[in-house]
Structure 1
Amino acid sequence: MSTLLLSQSKSLSRPKDAVKVYCQISAMLSVLIVAIILGTLLLQSGPVLSLKDTGLFTTEWNPDTGQYGMVPMVFGSVFVMSIAILIAGPLGLMTAIYISETRSSRLRRFIKSALELLTGIPSIVYGLIGVAYLNVWVADAFDLQSGRIILTAGILLGIMVLPTFLTLAEDAISSVPLKFRENAKSLGLYRHEVFKQVIVPQAKAGIAGAGLLAIGRALGETMAVMLVIGSLDRLPSPLFNPLSSGQTITSKLGREIGESAFGSVHFSALVFMSLILVSITITLTLISQYFLLRKNSRV
């Protein structure tokens, strides 16, 4: 009898062990792939990093004269991303509060499902809509000759990252245990006081993580931004003027990577920009995971 039980326990443990080994191998492969990507980008960035007077951290980009100033592209990426978050952040947070605190569970699932469908729309479709409609509206609103400006790119990108931020923020708010709400209401707090003094402090780590993940996605969008930003390799004038044309790292890569010869200094400079972008995105992802883990540890 004991022998039979021992054999049954071994047969039951084998699938669990197999799943554990599979998960470990998958995790190691994921880390290895990231390391290979970073190593490849760093290796291909060698030619431009090994040369002097390439002006990597200047504002002039002219491959014909050997100048590869990346400041306009880096600044443009941060500027467009900031506009997108300023649009998607408050709108997504208020919507997340509404569907998590004031609606029935059935209607909440329906609204979330409808909004999450937006994430499946290809970015090129957003870009075409931006070219056909948003460019015109922005140009008319600000009396401009063209709507292909930084503001248009920021608005379009804000719409694109809104479902990501909204979904994760709503999950963070909904994951706050019901007992916190009930205890706060039993003390006589109004609904807005419950949310401000109880729910937000408990969900702020998850909301912060959602914002950082949305920023990471905003930094990586290419086609939609490339179609509406104007793609001029210069800083805005004045510096924080959203009504001027600009350039982001992704739009620069999308336009010029096919024109550069593999192994050339021009190609190396573009790869170095992509290395900067990947490094920023990985950093934001790691920080967001930290906040999400803090949120889960509190639940």
Structure 2
Amino acid sequence: MKDKFIDTIIATAIPAIAMACFNFFLLYFFDNSSVLNIGQSTKMVDQYVTPINIEAHGKIDKLRITLPGKLTDKQISTNKPIQVKTANNNVGYEDYTDFYISKITSKSSVQLIINTDKPLENNDIAIDKNGNNISVNYESTVKNPAFEQLRSIILNAVVYFILFSIIISREKRDRKKKTLEIKEGLDILKSQNDKLVQDQNNTIERVKKAEDDAKKRQLLLQAKLHDYKKELSFWRNTIRKMLYKMPDGDKKAEKLIESVTDSLKTYNTNEKNEHEFETLKVAAALLRDSEEKS
């Protein structure tokens, strides 16, 4: 929950910060220029007055203003001390006058008043920026501020949408990558678990087979022991019968048998458990037949 909250804050903050940087970029590189506003001519008694306002955000020098008619620098008045010079060469522009505006300091507001006998049309006033970073606005063509604000809102919305889409797309890609990594990890764990289960089953089967083989071998060995004991009993009885034919043969025979038993420590050969050995022998025979068929 905490991680999701942090991700939401980051996803919201990054576009906002990027938008602020974008607006700062626009203001610094595009809106940092000086502004020159040319007003419309207004009749004052027997002459016309045309205002030109300059909002200087940087130093302005050798700004050329071309006006219709033959004018002198005395027909231009300013609210601040600046340099206004009339161009000497107007070849091909006999009906126009060029003025050079210089020495306007940065962060200053200058107003020029042009006095003429006839009204000046905005289209007749030409501005040569001459390398100065300045934008020119004519009052007759000034745009509605509402449209400018709407354009700015739309531009900001488009930029914000693009940035937000990029962030969301990247977040989805990262989430998909993490999901795939988790899935691959789970598949690896499942594969390892399946292998462990298979190994465990194989081990159980091997142990079971080993136990079965041990029981089979034990059964077969007991069957062989039975045969050996039976054969031993046969030879013991045969020797006993031969000794019985001698004087005091029965005592000598039992004494000899006991002496052999004591010497070899084979007391179990005298136990009467023939029925058990017969059962083991039958079971061993069945086991042997089963192994031969398999």
TM-score band by shorter chain is under 0.3
Greater helix share, structure number:
1
Greater strand share, structure number:
2
Pick the structure with greater CA Rg: 2
Calculate the TM-score normalised by the size of structure 1: 0.24
